[in-house]
């Protein structure tokens, strides 16, 4: 199988489109998805899960339980007098209750942006793990217009509680488009990317108090790409040569560790730049697929040491699904010669122990079982691997579109969220036992939605819904929201 980027881009085009020629909207959607594979926070998936503790109390303090009646202030009982008197009894003054939250003020309505309250003073400093920072820049096609007329009128910064309550924090100019890359709870600034007039993204900081933007990125060229922030404050970056985008032979893409104020340190060369390296749940090592998909390379971030693990399965290609836990990686394997997945027999799931360098067949998939359609997009939540895929059919191929998000544990997969008939793909993130799933529409004919799935309780919370119809808007487009959930570093 070719390792040229041109071939990989062709594969991506097949993955992300349906039968028929690309119309304008679908072309916009494909370019957006490929761009996000390169420049947004989800290109490296870290699953160093941290439980979202203490958020309920914080939410209640800021009035999220406002449906509960407040206790009445104490009013003294009037005295009973044996003799009538014309002197009026003074009206008792209610005693202030300092435990009540201040009243919340609805924020001005913005078309394409979720309804919100104005962020109360001090809210930023009271956020905790599980709160989300999101930036909305809704793009749309005006009534009677075409994709070439697409525009955005507002750019709003929200804090979102774990219960899905939105608080408007800042209004930013429409240009540049600001993308959230990383944010820590209570922090007064966020790591962001800035894109203007279609140019490559520049990385810097957004001051969440003032809205000021500053540029701060390592000395890469314009194709340097931020991947993630590690728990120790160091960052992972890649540098994609422009020749790769022109279909030249693919020498691989370097993955670098960048300490604050230091020069980038090359960590590993990733042969497949569309997938990129994947960070383990402990944020200590990354795994990359080897050329030809015959094994894995596991690289320790602290010293750059790399250990090669071969699947030792001649004539078989295996594709990375993701980390299951700190030492286990799940892959799916099939006959390397057939385009259809089942040409050489039903595929198998294989668990690779990165500590012992052994690969064990876990199960053989049956028709109808969920199959990971896009390699390397799984995230780990406490030993459960969450991936996107589609039911396996007799004529299924590796380029079939995703239809749902699945949770894999102990060899069994269950459906978490379906894409329905609209198509698209998922961008996922994990905090503790909660999986956050953004639906990114491939066809660019609608905006994204973000849903939280608690794997322990089974609860589902919509954190950001699709925008409602609005006057003058012919069609909402995608690429309208970026977000980061406070908690662990990396994804």
pLDDT digits (tens, 9 = 90+) for 219-229: 887 678 898 99
Q: What is the mean pLDDT of residues 148-168?
A: 96
Q: How deeply is 184 buried, as exposed, middle or buried, from its count of CB atoms within 10 A (0-12, 13-18, 19+)?
A: middle
pLDDT of residue 277: 57
| More confident site: 130 or 37 | 130
**pLDDT > 80? residue 460:** yes
Q: Is the pLDDT of residue 57 over 60?
A: no
> Does pLDDT of 32 surpass 70?
no
Token pair in block for residue 411 = 């060899």
How far apart (Å, rounded) are the C-alpha atoms in residues 478 and 249? 32
What integer pLDDT is reported at residue 253 of this predicted model?
83
Q: Which two tokens stand for residue 146?
A: 């075409």
Q: How confident is the model at residue 29 (pLDDT cuts 50, 70, 90)?
A: very low
Q: Which one, of 319, 252, 267, 226, lies nearest residue 5 by Cα?
A: 252
Residue 93 within a domain: no
pLDDT band at 86 (very low <50, low <70, confident <90, very high): very low
| Structure tokens, 408 | 């894999």
Task: For residue 17, give the CATH number of its domain.
Answer: 2.130.10.120
343-370 mean pLDDT: 88
Q: 376: closest CA among 365, 393, 389, 366?
A: 389
Tell me what pLDDT residue 103 has: 86
Here the tokens at position 473 are 């808007």
331 vs 311: CA distance, rounded Å: 10
Q: Determine, yes or no, domain membership for 330.
A: yes
pLDDT digits (tens, 9 = 90+) for 275-334: 555 889 989 999 998 887 789 999 999 999 999 999 887 778 888 899 999 999 999 888
Structure token pair of residue 436? 């956050």
pLDDT of residue 473: 93
> Token pair 């892959």 is at which residue?
331
Residue 89 has pLDDT above 60, yes or no: no
Does some domain include residue 269?
yes
Calculate mean pLDDT across residues 46-66.
34
**Which residue would you say has higher pLDDT here, 178 or 34?**
178
**Is the confidence at residue 12, as pLDDT, over 60?**
no
What local confidence, expressed as pLDDT, does residue 245 receive? 53
Residue 180 is assigned to a structural domain of this protein: yes
Four-residue CA torsion sign, 461, 130, 330, 389: positive
Report the pLDDT value the prediction gives residue 248, as an integer from 0 to 100: 54
Q: How confident is the model at residue 155 (pLDDT cuts 50, 70, 90)?
A: very high
Rounded to an integer, the average pLDDT of 45-69 is: 34
In this structure, is residue 174 part of a structural domain?
yes
Q: What is the mean pLDDT of the chain?
A: 78
pLDDT number for residue 31: 45
User: Do the domain assignments include residue 295?
Assistant: yes
The range of the structural domain enclosing residue 389 comes to 5-59+102-469+478-485
pLDDT of residue 62: 38
Asked if pLDDT for residue 218 goes beyond 70, the answer is: yes
Task: Note the pLDDT of residue 319.
Answer: 86
**83 part of a folded domain:** no
Least confident range from 9-23, 128-142, 287-301, 470-484: namely 9-23
* Measured distance CA(10)–CA(1) in Å, rounded: 13
Least confident of 87-91, 377-381, 453-457: 87-91
pLDDT in tens, 238-278: 886 554 555 555 567 889 999 998 999 999 888 876 555 58
Average confidence (pLDDT) over 109-123: 96
Question: How high is the pLDDT of residue 240?
Answer: 67
**Tokens 């966020």 belong to which residue?**
190
| pLDDT above 60 for 23 | no
pTM: 0.80
Quote the strand ranges of 383-487, DSSP E: 384-391, 404-409, 412-418, 425-431, 434-440, 449-454, 460-464, 473-476, 481-485
Total of domains in the chain: 1
Q: What is the pLDDT of residue 413?
A: 92
pLDDT at 105: 97
- Structural domain contains residue 328: yes
């Amino acid at each position: 199988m070719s390792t040229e980027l041109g071939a990989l881009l062709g594969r991506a085009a097949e993955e992300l489109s349906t039968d028929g020629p690309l119309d304008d909207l679908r072309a916009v959607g494909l370019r957006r998805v490929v761009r996000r594979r390169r420049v947004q926070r989800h290109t490296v998936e870290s699953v160093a899960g941290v439980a979202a503790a203490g958020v309920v109390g914080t939410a209640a303090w800021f009035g999220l339980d406002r449906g509960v009646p407040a206790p009445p202030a104490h009013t003294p009982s009037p005295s009973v007098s044996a003799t009538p008197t014309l002197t009026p009894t003074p009206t008792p003054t209610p005693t202030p209750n300092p435990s009540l939250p201040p009243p919340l003020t609805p924020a001005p309505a913005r078309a394409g942006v979720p309804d919100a309250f104005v962020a109360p003073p001090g809210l930023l400093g009271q956020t905790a793990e599980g709160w989300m920072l999101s930036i909305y820049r809704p793009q749309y096609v005006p009534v009677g217009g075409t994709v070439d007329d697409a525009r955005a009128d507002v750019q709003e910064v929200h804090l979102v509680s774990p219960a899905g309550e939105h608080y408007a924090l800042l209004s930013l100019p429409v240009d540049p488009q600001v993308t959230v890359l990383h944010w820590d709870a209570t922090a007064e600034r966020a790591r962001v990317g800035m894109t203007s007039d279609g140019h490559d993204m520049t990385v810097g900081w957004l001051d969440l108090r003032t809205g000021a933007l500053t540029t701060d990125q390592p000395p890469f060229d314009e194709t340097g790409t931020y991947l993630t922030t590690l728990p120790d404050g160091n960052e992972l970056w890649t540098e994609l040569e422009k020749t790769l985008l022109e279909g030249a032979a693919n020498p691989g893409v370097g993955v670098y560790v960048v300490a604050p104020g230091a020069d980038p340190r090359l960590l590993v060369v990733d042969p497949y730049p569309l997938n990129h390296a994947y960070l383990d749940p402990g944020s200590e090592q990354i795994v990359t697929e080897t050329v030809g998909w015959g094994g894995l390379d596991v690289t320790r971030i602290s010293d750059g040491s790399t250990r090669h693990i071969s699947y030792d399965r001649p004539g078989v290609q295996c594709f990375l699904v993701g980390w299951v836990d700190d030492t286990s990686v799940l892959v799916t394997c099939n006959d390397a010669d057939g385009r259809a997945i089942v040409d050489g027999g039903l595929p198998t799931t294989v668990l690779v122990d990165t500590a012992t360098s052994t690969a064990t067949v876990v199960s053989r998939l049956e028709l109808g079982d969920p199959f990971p359609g896009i390699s390397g997009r799984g995230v780990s939540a406490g030993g459960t691997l969450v991936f996107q895929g589609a039911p396996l059919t007799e004529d299924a191929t590796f380029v079939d579109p995703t239809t749902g998000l699945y949770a894999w544990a102990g060899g069994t997969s269950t459906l978490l969220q379906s894409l329905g008939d609209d198509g698209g793909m998922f961008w996922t993130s994990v905090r503790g036992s909660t999986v956050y799933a953004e639906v990114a529409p491939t066809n660019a004919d609608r905006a994204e939605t973000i849903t939280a799935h608690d794997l322990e309780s089974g609860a589902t919370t919509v954190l950001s819904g699709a925008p409602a119809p609005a006057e003058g808007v012919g069609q909402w487009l995608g690429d309208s929201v970026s977000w980061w959930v406070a908690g662990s570093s990396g994804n």
